[in-house]
């Protein structure tokens, strides 16, 4: 699994998806980069179950999600409906998660995507640890992709749960 969740591999998956589907270019971002305080965010996630179990999250600002949705629907960001935005972010998470799953050995199942949107929310999954994360920029806005793994040791869970929470939270 370690090769699949390397930041460089996740970044390459996103580069291909955002380039081919949206015609948008992603640039590397530093691990210290974070969403601005109070930013309205959208998180899309899919779960993978099988010999390896975990989940893939993508997190981006609502503003960037509007641009991505507009590119998908061939419209303007201001004309994007909330329903279409949720659909588009879910599909982006589905493509990222599906490409992660496709690189795993053995049979695995991919869940349907779920999407959370709003401000000051926290995404956490008990009994998991962060297995990989990459931050990228598009038009000056951040896209963070996180892979979490189920069944981690209690020590690893404690250490990484905080990383995930602080990255997904906008206090």
Contact footprint for another protein (CB under 8 A): 16-17, 19-21, 69, 72-74, 84, 87-88, 90-91, 94-95, 97-99, 101-102, 107, 110, 112
Decide if 129 contacts 48 (C-beta within 8 A).
no
**In the complex, minimum distance from the CB of residue 86 to another protein, in angstroms, rounded to a whole number:** 10
Strand 141-150 versus strand 54-61 pairing type: antiparallel
**In the complex, minimum distance from the CB of residue 70 to another protein, in angstroms, rounded to a whole number:** 11
Closer to another protein by Cβ: residue 78 or 83: 83
**In the complex, minimum distance from the CB of residue 101 to another protein, in angstroms, rounded to a whole number:** 5
CA-CA distance, 62 to 52, in Å (whole number)?
Answer: 31
Closer to another protein by Cβ: residue 50 or 169: 50
CA-CA distance, 157 to 55, in Å (whole number)?
Answer: 14
**In the complex, minimum distance from the CB of residue 87 to another protein, in angstroms, rounded to a whole number:** 5
Specify the DSSP element, H or E, that contains 108.
Answer: strand 108-110
Closer to another protein by Cβ: residue 93 or 152: 93
Q: Helical H runs in 27-153? A: 62-73, 82-102
């Amino acid at each position: 699994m370690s090769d699949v969740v390397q930041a460089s591999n996740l970044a390459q998956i996103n580069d291909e998806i955002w380039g081919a589907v949206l015609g948008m270019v992603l640039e590397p971002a530093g691990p210290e980069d974070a969403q601005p305080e109070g930013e309205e965010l959208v998180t899309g996630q899919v779960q993978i179950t099988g010999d390896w179990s975990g989940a893939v999250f993508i997190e981006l600002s609502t503003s960037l999600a509007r641009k991505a949705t507009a590119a998908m629907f061939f419209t303007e960001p201001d004309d994007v409906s909330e329903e279409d935005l949720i659909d588009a972010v879910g599909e982006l998470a589905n493509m990222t998660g599906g490409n992660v799953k496709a690189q795993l050995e053995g049979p695995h199942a991919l869940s349907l995507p779920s999407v959370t949107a709003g401000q000051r929310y926290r995404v956490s999954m008990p009994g998991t640890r962060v297995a990989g994360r990459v931050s990228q920029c598009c038009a000056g806005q951040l896209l963070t992709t996180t892979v979490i793994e189920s069944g981690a040791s209690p020590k690893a869970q404690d250490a990484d749960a905080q990383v995930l929470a602080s990255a997904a939270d906008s206090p």
